[in-house]
Amino acid sequence: MTKMILEQSEHPLTPADLDELEKLYNWKFPESFRQLYLQYNGGYLPDKWMEHEDIVFGGFDSIRYGKSPAEEVYLNLIEAYPQFVNLFPFAYDRFGHDFLLSLREEDHGTIYMFIMDGEDFFEVVDTFDEFLDLLIVHE
């Protein structure tokens, strides 16, 4: 398996950045999520990977920093859709729909897709690792 590579990542996060966010909302990010975001604070897959995707992936949001950090997107999301509390938007597809990481107790780590032109969301995969596996080119 090839390692995940992201381009155009924002200012790097520190473990304290993620710890602060977890403490603020009483969350616990999956370890693989933490590791990816400590290496890359958002970004895009290399162009050569785009044709190999199993999903129509756009990119990962930065958690902090940048024009539209996931932390801010989350607050806007739950203001408009309170039922999405503890579903953290961390990535998006090419149509602007959000991928959400569940940080709820009952389905912790499950990845959902939120279709922006309604209130519908559906399960994509059970874990963040499975989500990454959809994106990584296997050689």
How far apart, in whole angstroms, are the C-alpha atoms of residue 34 and residue 14?
Answer: 10
How confident is residue 2, by pLDDT bands cut at 50, 70 and 90?
A: very low
- Does the pTM surpass 0.75? The reply is yes
More confident residue, 98 or 120: 98
Reported as a single tens digit per residue, the pLDDT across 57-107 is 788 888 887 777 788 889 998 998 898 999 999 998 878 888 999 999 999
> What pLDDT, on the 0 to 100 scale, is given for residue 55?
63
Q: What is the strand order of the sheet 87-93 is part of?
A: 57-60, 87-93, 98-102, 111-114, 121-125
Reported as a single tens digit per residue, the pLDDT across 11-51 is 888 999 999 999 999 999 999 999 989 998 877 676 655 55
- Angle between helix axes 15-25 and 31-39 (nearest 10 degrees) is 140
In contact, 88 and 77? CB cutoff 8 Å: no
Tell me which amino acid residue 115 is: I
How far apart, in whole angstroms, are the C-alpha atoms of residue 109 and residue 126?
Answer: 7
How far apart, in whole angstroms, are the C-alpha atoms of residue 77 and residue 127?
Answer: 21
